[in-house]
Structure 1
Amino acid sequence: MSPTAPTRFTIGADTFRHGRLSAAVEFHCVRRVAPVVKNVGGLVTALADADGEASSAERVAEVIKGGAPLFHAFAELSEADSDYVIGHCMAVTEALDGEEWVPVWDPEARAPALDSLRMIHVLRISYAVLRDAISVFFFRRGIEFDRTRASAAVSYEPVRLPDDLDWLMWPVMADPPMCTYRELHDGTLRLADVAQMVDALSARDENRRRAQNAAEAAARGRA
């Protein structure tokens, strides 16, 4: 996969650009900020169009443009969660200083590398980096169907991975695998890619159950 060009964006008169996070980091960031997105006042309402469907992530930016809802919502995160999200988002971001791009984050100090950056800049940079991943989690139209139970299903309590990792790891654990564990972490894949693979696996498994039930029903009819 060819490298993706950095994404430019502006905050006031300042110009920034950000690289891409790996699918795994996007997943863990979005999992942490999920309460933030849900609690930003008016977010879901502002995203609904006349037909009640969610529109593009660009409209999210308009809702939080003032910054106050972000301050309030991020204040509800634990220090560890906010450090994780902000640190990863700022680490892939640079600011345009004259004709040069300079890092905006000092990883050792865990603080902005530029004196001109305030907390509102940090939060809006974090949102800009995570915007696509937030759209995937909350506003994309995924596959929808009524799940079929296998005719000879046996009830059991499945073992779950912590922190909702079952969803992220499903394409890796598929038979055959649709991606590798490394690709989740090296930037090859985005969260949107993982979501599409999960949809495809869900459809495949459902079709297998339906085909099996239909074959068993046909066999019973011939008996």
Structure 2
Amino acid sequence: MTTVEMQDITFQIGKLPAKKQFHVSRRIAPIIPALLPIYVGLARGGSLMATLEQSPEILKPFAEALAGMPDDAVDYLIDTCMSVVKRQQGSGWANIWSPGGPMFDDIDLSLLLPLTVRVITVNLGPFISGLLTSQSSSPASQAQAG
């Protein structure tokens, strides 16, 4: 489990089952280029909030890419990602999402998008990293470099 603090709330990011990871990756394939700057910032050891605070403009392409997705794909993406997020409640953890939406009144867009990005990077980071590595070592990229 990955723990992250946003807006003075501690969240726990869980692991998506492999099949859900696959379905999320299919839906985000068109927006992976918009996620790359965020992923690179996180891969360099930065926190999501620090990355966004240092470069808030990197969330804009992600938001624009989401805006271009069909509603059902965005709903699936958000519902699936939020299904593995919990928030600290006293000494325990509580799910933040139900099939009907957020379980807490303070879960709004300012938390929803960063949490969605965090779930994606935690669960699909190695997959995205593998794509980047395979693209940079492909014969076409080596021919371009040479």
TM-score, with normalisation over the residues of structure 1?
0.49
| Shift in Å, 1:57 | 6.5
C-alpha separation in 2, matches of 1:60 and 1:79:
29
1:43 matched to 2:33:
no
C-alpha separation in 2, matches of 1:142 and 1:35:
18
Work out which of the residue numbers 122, 126, 130 in structure 1 matches 2:120.
130
1:30 matched to 2:31:
no
Instruction: Give the secondary structure class of the aligned counterpart of 1:138.
Output: helix
C-alpha separation in 2, matches of 1:19 and 1:7:
7
Larger-gyration structure (1/2): 1
C-alpha separation in 1, matches of 2:86 and 2:122:
18
Count of matched residue pairs: 131
Q: Residues 104 and 128 from structure 1, CA distance in 2 versus in 1: closer, same or farther, beyond 3 angstroms?
A: same
| Shift in Å, 1:78 | 0.9
| Shift in Å, 1:135 | 2.6
C-alpha separation in 1, matches of 2:3 and 2:70:
29
Q: CA RMSD in A?
A: 3.1
Instruction: Give the secondary structure class of the aligned counterpart of 2:43.
Output: coil
Match in the other structure for 1:21: 16
Task: Tell me which protein shows more strand as a share of its residues.
Answer: 2
1:88 matched to 2:80:
yes
Q: Residues 90 and 145 from structure 1, CA distance in 2 versus in 1: closer, same or farther, beyond 3 angstroms?
A: closer
* Unaligned residue ranges in structure 2 (runs of 5+): 140-146
Flag as ranges the 4+ runs of structure 1 deviating above 3 A.
Answer: 57-61, 63-70, 142-146
Q: Percent of counterpart pairs with the same letter?
A: 23
TM-score, with normalisation over the residues of structure 2?
0.71
Amino acid at match of 1:22: P
Instruction: Give the secondary structure class of the aligned counterpart of 1:139.
Output: helix
